[in-house]
Protein backbone atom coordinates (compact mmCIF):
# COMPACT_ATOMS: atom_id res chain seq x y z
CA UNK A 1 0.00 0.00 0.00
CA UNK A 2 1.40 3.39 -0.92
CA UNK A 3 1.78 6.08 1.74
CA UNK A 4 -0.93 8.17 0.11
CA UNK A 5 -3.32 5.21 0.05
CA UNK A 6 -2.53 4.52 3.70
CA UNK A 7 -3.25 8.12 4.68
CA UNK A 8 -6.55 8.00 2.80
CA UNK A 9 -7.42 4.68 4.41
CA UNK A 10 -6.71 6.08 7.89
CA UNK A 11 -8.75 9.23 7.27
CA UNK A 12 -11.74 7.27 5.99
CA UNK A 13 -11.54 4.68 8.76
CA UNK A 14 -11.21 7.29 11.50
CA UNK A 15 -14.05 9.24 9.94
CA UNK A 16 -16.30 6.22 10.41
CA UNK A 17 -14.88 5.58 13.88
CA UNK A 18 -15.80 9.03 15.22
CA UNK A 19 -18.73 9.62 12.85
CA UNK A 20 -17.28 12.82 11.40
CA UNK A 21 -17.06 13.75 7.70
CA UNK A 22 -13.73 12.77 6.16
CA UNK A 23 -12.91 16.34 5.11
CA UNK A 24 -13.09 17.39 8.77
CA UNK A 25 -10.94 14.42 9.81
CA UNK A 26 -8.40 15.44 7.16
CA UNK A 27 -8.27 18.94 8.65
CA UNK A 28 -7.99 17.52 12.17
CA UNK A 29 -5.20 15.14 11.16
CA UNK A 30 -3.38 17.92 9.33
CA UNK A 31 -3.58 20.44 12.18
CA UNK A 32 -2.63 17.87 14.83
CA UNK A 33 0.34 16.54 12.87
CA UNK A 34 -1.16 13.09 12.26
CA UNK A 35 -0.61 13.30 8.50
CA UNK A 36 3.06 14.01 9.05
CA UNK A 37 3.23 11.17 11.57
CA UNK A 38 1.64 8.79 9.06
CA UNK A 39 4.38 9.74 6.61
CA UNK A 40 7.34 9.50 8.97
CA UNK A 41 6.18 6.41 10.87
CA UNK A 42 4.59 4.62 7.92
CA UNK A 43 6.70 1.48 8.32
CA UNK A 44 5.59 1.03 11.94
CA UNK A 45 1.96 2.04 11.52
CA UNK A 46 0.85 0.34 8.32
CA UNK A 47 1.11 -3.12 9.84
CA UNK A 48 -1.17 -2.35 12.78
CA UNK A 49 -4.71 -3.63 13.04
CA UNK A 50 -7.60 -1.24 12.40
CA UNK A 51 -8.63 -1.42 16.05
CA UNK A 52 -5.14 -0.55 17.24
CA UNK A 53 -4.88 2.33 14.75
CA UNK A 54 -8.17 3.82 15.97
CA UNK A 55 -6.98 3.63 19.59
CA UNK A 56 -3.63 5.10 18.56
CA UNK A 57 -5.34 8.05 16.85
CA UNK A 58 -7.72 8.57 19.77
CA UNK A 59 -4.84 8.60 22.25
CA UNK A 60 -2.60 10.77 20.06
CA UNK A 61 -5.30 13.38 19.50
CA UNK A 62 -6.32 13.36 23.16
CA UNK A 63 -2.71 13.85 24.28
CA UNK A 64 -2.25 16.60 21.70
CA UNK A 65 -5.35 18.41 23.00
CA UNK A 66 -4.20 18.13 26.62
CA UNK A 67 -0.77 19.56 25.78
CA UNK A 68 -2.35 22.53 24.01
CA UNK A 69 -4.40 23.53 27.06
* Residue pair 13/7 in contact by the 8 Å Cβ criterion: no
Count: domains in the chain: 1
pLDDT at 65: 75
Please say if the pLDDT value at position 69 is more than 70.
no
pLDDT tens for residues 8-67?
Answer: 999 999 999 999 999 999 999 999 999 999 999 999 999 999 999 999 999 999 998 767
Q: Which domain holds residue 24?
A: 3-68
State the pTM of this model.
0.90
Nearest residue to 9 (alpha-carbon basis) of 65, 63, 29: 29
Amino acid sequence: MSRLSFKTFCIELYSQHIQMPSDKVYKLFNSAGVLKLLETDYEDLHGMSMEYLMKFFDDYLENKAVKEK
